[in-house]
Amino acid sequence: MAFFEAHDVNLHFKSFHALRGISVSFEKSDVLVICGPSGSGKSTFIRAINKLAGPLSSGRFLLEGQDLGSMPRRDLYRRVGMVFQRFNLFQHLTVLDNIALPQRRVLRRSRKDAIERAMGLLKRVGLSDKAARYPAQLSGGQQQRVAICRALAMEPELLLFDEPTSALDPEMVGEVLQVMKDLAAAGMTMVVVTHEMGFAKELATEIAFLDGGQMVEKAPPSAFFSQPRRERTRMFLDQIL
């Protein structure tokens, strides 16, 4: 049994077959990078893991052998964290409360514990001095680092990223990728949808290519870049590299 397994996952939006028989597995501390053209199903796949898309037409996701589909949402959100393209911070809450509040609601941590942990995380991403600010007062890169802290505060076993840098101005991409690199180095298990191929080359355990709702290729970075087996993957790489 692998740490995470997707078994022949199919998902429809009405009659549209968005995910077509996706099977993939990985181990703890692995980083699975997912790339592919727009509309290929990357977001749908990653959101389906966390039950934000769905329900599945068939198939299942297993985390340490447990079916995510039948896991209570509270457990699911605690164990599987998500970082979105557009940060999705609570605009009316300070940075500190954005990170502390979910800990209190979901984990029932005391205010003191939640704040202590939030401050520790902010320090880790270099934002200690922004705790009292509101999201709108931060740059995109800073907001995304706060969103990562909010996810980490749940101490997830798996962290999902859906194009975490693609809404950022170019000069802010690096600071977010650096936080993700630090996380990977610390052993965090991650699924990352991204077209940042430098990140993928350096950190991915495997890179998967989605096309038309199918996972048409999956290989370690060296093989993925040097000898893509499928013509479709080769064309995609030619476009973005």
Sign (positive or negative) of CA dihedral 119, 121, 124, 125: negative
Q: Is 94 in the site for Mg ion (CB under 5 A)?
A: no
**Bridge partners (DSSP) listed for residue 60:** 7
String of contacts with Mg ion for each residue 33-52, x by CB under 5 A: ---------xx---------
C-alpha–C-alpha distance, residues 171 and 209, integer Å: 27
Considering the rule CB under 6 A, would residue 13 count as an interface residue with ligand ADP?
yes
CA 17 – CA 60 distance, rounded (Å): 16
Work out whether 40 is an interface residue with ligand ADP (CB under 6 A): yes
Quick check: 130 binds ligand ADP (CB under 6 A)? no
22 or 68: CB nearest ligand ADP: 22
Q: Does 44 bind ligand ADP (CB under 6 A)?
A: yes
Among 26, 31, 35, 43, binds ligand ADP (CB under 6 A): 43
Q: How far apart are CA 208 and CA 34, in angstroms?
A: 5
Q: Choose the stretch contacting ligand ADP; rule: CB under 6 A; options: 33-41, 57-65, 107-115, 215-223.
A: 33-41
* Measured distance CA(112)–CA(104) in Å, rounded: 10
Q: What's the CA gap between 114 and 96, in Å, rounded?
A: 9
Residue 163 CB, shortest distance to Mg ion, in Å, is 6
